[in-house]
Amino acid sequence: MSPSPASPLPLPRTAEVVIVGAGFAGIGMAMALRRAGHDDLVILERGDAVGGTWRDNTYPGVACDVPSHLYGFAAHPNPDWSGVFARGDEIRRYLDDVADRERLRSRMHLRTPMLGAEWDDRVARWRVRTPAGDIVAEALVLACGRLTEPLIPEVPGLETFPGPLFHSARWDHTADLTGRRVAVVGTGASAVQLVPELARTAAHVTLFQRTPAWIVPREAREYTGAERARFAAHPEELARLRDELYREGERRFASRSGDAAASDAAREIALAHLDRQVADAALRRALTPDYAFGCKRVLLSDDFYPAVASDAVTLEPSALASADGTTLVAASGRRVEVDAVVLATGFASTRQPYAELVRGEGGTTLAAHWSAGMSAFASTVVSGFPNLFVLNGPNASLGHNSSVLMIEEQAAYAVSALERRAVAPAGVLRVDPAAEEAYIGEIAAAAASTPWLSGGCRNWYVDERSGRLTLLWPGTVEAFRRRLAQADGSEFTGTPVGARGKEST
């Protein structure tokens, strides 16, 4: 693994493509571009290393909830994953390794955030501002991630809490929580992983739960040395495993999206899991969701329920309402004395922070264009923002399978679209607003009957301003692949249908 440069590389003043972000999406996009012969690219990364969410999230117990052999690039299988589900540090090292194998270091500029980006119609280029100067690009790729900015709840008095207070995605490793009374606020994916870890070392953990989650068995285990050796010696076996995991994930879509039989079966598995692991009837009731299976993100855990049922953890089945010094007050009125607070309260998902920084034609910001919720044709290109591609953005998330699969499809679409610039007016790809609206309509029709919209819960998939499903793709990965394959260039105004630059030269 190559170490991160001691200082930022000199920033070029021009490039064909600027990619913002060096997580899975940014690295995946760079790989796709280079394989297609687009080598004049720059990767901007605000952090001091690659990894995206896997660089930022270092809380105890952090791991992926997608099987490790599916959570990686198809071109870079990793026979040495330690277990069925990879730890966060392993995934970060994997991305480091891929960046080295793909020879991306010379194009990567760490500690170099995008301060702003404006489309200059006079020269048909993007002007991207950074602390190291401006860079002019023919195309801009936003691979900034969708879960990057922690959501900090507005709780009266919390700002004056005297002890350690931090978000799970900004873990303070200087704060020793051993033997201390710790409050965890939230019961989402991060909390389910970190609560069992804290319960082992803290004096006591109080868990503030606004809404319980549907949790199914994780069935995690470590791979043996013999298994890892076999994966390395027989790549065809590893490929078969990846394919099996992919198909298994695709089958899960039915239970997450509201198929009655599949949802009922999955719900029974979750309830049986809760019943086996929590003996106290009152605690079981408090941990049982009252909304449809799949409405919120379904979580995987083998040790969360045992931790909550133990003497080491107290469940407070209401939200944190206020703080008074070291006393936390729940919405139920209960008062709890604590020494430290961990906010496992999620992220700003429907309102992406980078959208305020990007100005398209006429000076309109991406945030303004998305004022009623994120949108894009093919979940990737946006009207009013020429030669711009958004990965991991509008309707590109999944609740049933690996997000890396979606990134690879989006990157392939973006490369295909870039090739059409040769036959586009003045080399500019302008999305037809009608095509974007039609795509929004497709999403709305597919999502209308799903539990994400009608399941009786609030979730981070739906934009509260419009009530639209803006994060999730309401279909399988295969359906996404087919939909993007249908894109024939007609989504771009003035571009010959079906024409691509390389095919027409």
pLDDT of residue 7: 43
Are 309 and 215 in contact, with CB atoms under 8 Å apart? no
Residue with tokens 């894009």: 376
**What digits encode the pLDDT tens for the residues 238-291?**
999 999 999 999 999 999 999 999 999 999 999 999 999 999 999 999 999 999
| Residue 319 clears pLDDT 60, i.e. is over it | yes
Residue 9 to residue 147: CA distance in whole angstroms: 27
Q: How confident is the model at residue 405 (pLDDT cuts 50, 70, 90)?
A: very high
Amino acid found at 295: C
pLDDT of residue 505: 30
Q: What is the mean pLDDT of residues 48-57?
A: 95
Residue 259 to residue 245: CA distance in whole angstroms: 21
Q: What is the mean pLDDT of residues 192-199?
A: 98
| Residue 3 clears pLDDT 90, i.e. is over it | no
Higher-pLDDT residue of 76 and 505 is: 76
Q: What are phi and psi of 239, to 5 degrees?
A: -65, -40
Task: List the structure tokens of 36.
Answer: 């297609």
**What digits encode the pLDDT tens for the residues 163-179?**
999 999 999 999 999 99
| Residue 496 clears pLDDT 80, i.e. is over it | no
Report the share of the chain in percent with pLDDT over 90. 91
Higher-pLDDT residue of 424 and 236 is: 236
pLDDT of residue 259: 97
pLDDT of residue 105: 96
Q: How confident is the model at residue 223 (pLDDT cuts 50, 70, 90)?
A: very high
pLDDT of residue 128: 98
Nearest to 42 by CA among 66, 62, 13: 13
Residue 32 to residue 24: CA distance in whole angstroms: 12
If phi > 0 it is left, if psi is from -120 to 50 it is alpha, else beta; for residue 383 that is beta
Spacing of C-alpha 494 from chain mean position: 34
**What digits encode the pLDDT tens for the residues 86-115?**
999 999 999 999 999 999 999 999 999 999
Amino acid found at 327: T
Q: What size, in residues, is the chain?
A: 505
Q: How confident is the model at residue 2 (pLDDT cuts 50, 70, 90)?
A: very low
pLDDT of residue 503: 38
Amino acid found at 17: V
pLDDT of residue 349: 76
Q: What is the mean pLDDT of residues 453-478?
A: 95
| Residue 1 clears pLDDT 50, i.e. is over it | no
pLDDT of residue 500: 55
Q: For 253-256, which contacts have Cβ atoms below 8 Å and span 24 or more sequence positions? A: 253/400, 253/401, 253/475, 253/476, 255/293, 255/294, 255/400, 256/293, 256/294, 256/298, 256/399, 256/400, 256/451
Q: Which domains does the chain have, with CATH numbers?
A: 14-149+349-504 (3.50.50.60), 158-214+259-343 (3.50.50.60)
Q: What is the mean pLDDT of the chain?
A: 95
Residue with tokens 């900090």: 152
Residue 330 to residue 120: CA distance in whole angstroms: 51
Q: What is the mean pLDDT of residues 375-403?
A: 97
Amino acid found at 424: A
This prediction's pTM: 0.94
